[in-house]
Amino acid sequence: MMGSPANEPGRHENEAQSTVQITKGFWLCETEMTQGAWRDVMGMAPESNPQHPVTSVSWEDCRSFIAKLPKPYPGWRFDLPTEAQWEYACRAGTQSAFAGDIDSMGWHFENSKARVQAIALKAPNSWGLYDMHGNVFEWCRDSYRERLSGGSNPFVNDKSDNSLRVRRGGSWYYRHSACRSAYRLGDPPDFKTGHLGFRLALVPDGL
């Protein structure tokens, strides 16, 4: 079940719940993409700390990064996760606002000292994924819509010039309520900020 119930504290109208089925397995990187990994692939990083998540990268920059990666196993490809894949992985089987105690799992405005933190310093969720709540927002593959799509393997890909792209997860710059599993925003594909990065997915072809 994507989205949040009407009584969840901090809820926004663009989180109306929707039933989703993901029909094929996928892999998600256990951490946010680091500046070190970005430099290894792209030749340079926007910042200089190899263990910090890469930030100030647009959705379009992420597509360029992925295009430079070697081909994985036959039948698979590297990509950004869809919004449904991201939320499924973030929740790790939970339906509460967070997948655990937010202060134990996530960096947000109230505990980050107003700066980005190195990856994997907080506890992971029960599926071993770090920093799904907070530290930096993460780009998803989908175009943004005010209402979540439901059904089988939902994915919105609007190629018009004014199409926004989804970001998820909250950040060190936002209060903890914006780090909820269901919190979602949309920004232009060329948008960049110092609290927005991404997480790489390995997905089967056709998903």
Look up the pTM and report it: 0.97
Show the CA angle centred on residue 157, arms to residues 198 and 176, nearest 5°: 40
Say how far apart CA 40 and CA 140 lie, in whole Å.
22
Would you state the pLDDT for residue 126? 98
Would you state the pLDDT for residue 105? 98
Q: In which band, very low, low, confident or very high, does the pLDDT at 34 lie, cut at 50, 70 and 90? A: very high
Segment 44-74, tens digit of pLDDT? 877 779 999 999 999 999 999 999 999 999 9
Q: Which helix (H) or strand (E) holds 138?
A: strand 137-143
Q: Which two tokens stand for residue 101?
A: 């105690």
The domain spans of the chain are 21-150+163-204
Would you state the pLDDT for residue 161? 78
Would you state the pLDDT for residue 46? 75
Say how far apart CA 128 and CA 124 lie, in whole Å.
5
Would you state the pLDDT for residue 173? 98
Would you state the pLDDT for residue 48? 77
Classify 21-150+163-204 by CATH class. Answer: alpha beta
